[in-house]
Amino acid sequence: MKISSFSFALLVCGSTVAAFTSISMPQRQARSVVLQSTMAESGAPPATSDPSGSIPESDIPTKLPTECGMDYIPLATMLATGQLAEADQFTRDALIKISGAKGKGREFVYFTDVKNIPSTDLATIERLWQQFSGGKFGYSVQKKKWRQSKENFELFCRKIGWTTQDGDVERKLRWFGASEFIYDVKKAPEGHLPLTSALRGTSLLKKLLTHPVWDNDDWKVEP
């Protein structure tokens, strides 16, 4: 299938997560530093989302397995507090690291890098997205939509809300300037997040959706 020229790079940046009322000021400052240092590494324009409210720190998962030394607590915190734009950017930045792309001096992931992503880490990322979206978001959800679309990218984008109607013209959502993507669990279509760059074509997305971790349901098992 010939892919038309899509000038959309499903990319956004994040900012720090809102402070918790149950966390002391030094802890807030430390967490803010952690979040700032782990985000916005993809060179994308800024985008933020409104937090859904403060939650007890005890509600943030801390047992988050990784084979790459990644700290996924910031991701869990962003998702738990409804900062989906920031969580979305963190996810892409994490893929750059755990795929080995960053170690090669690149700030983006080639489709050929996907085979290097440990199933352990991808499973951790997926469980967090699933947990805090009520099963609405995640790569496994997108895989289901991809199959339902019979691997037709245009239909897939339509199903997960990556397109919009401008008069008589259907187009992809824009990320330049104010992002048109929906960072709201209640309002976004199923499978809308996380976003994957299609700037270099659809090969990266396809590889992520056919990663071996999705071959069975082992990824669903909590550590």
* Residue 62 Cα to chain centre, angstroms: 19
Tell me which of 57 and 104 has the higher pLDDT. Answer: 104
Helices assigned H by DSSP within the chain: 25-37, 73-80, 84-98, 119-133, 139-148, 153-159, 203-209
Average pLDDT of 188-217? 94
User: What is the pLDDT at residue 199?
Assistant: 76
Task: Kindly report the three-state secondary structure assignment for every residue of 183-219.
Answer: CCCCCCCCCCCCCCCCCCCCHHHHHHHCCHHHHCCHH
Q: What is the pLDDT of residues 75-113, one digit of tens each?
A: 999 999 999 999 999 999 999 999 999 999 999 999 999
Q: What is the pLDDT of residue 198?
A: 80
- Nearest residue to 95 (alpha-carbon basis) of 106, 82, 81, 79: 106
> Can you tell me the distance from the alpha carbon of 187 to that of 97, in angstroms, rounded to the nearest whole number?
31
Give yes or no for residue 2 having a pLDDT over 50: no
Q: What is the pTM of this model?
A: 0.79
What band does 59 get if pLDDT is binned at 50, 70 and 90? confident
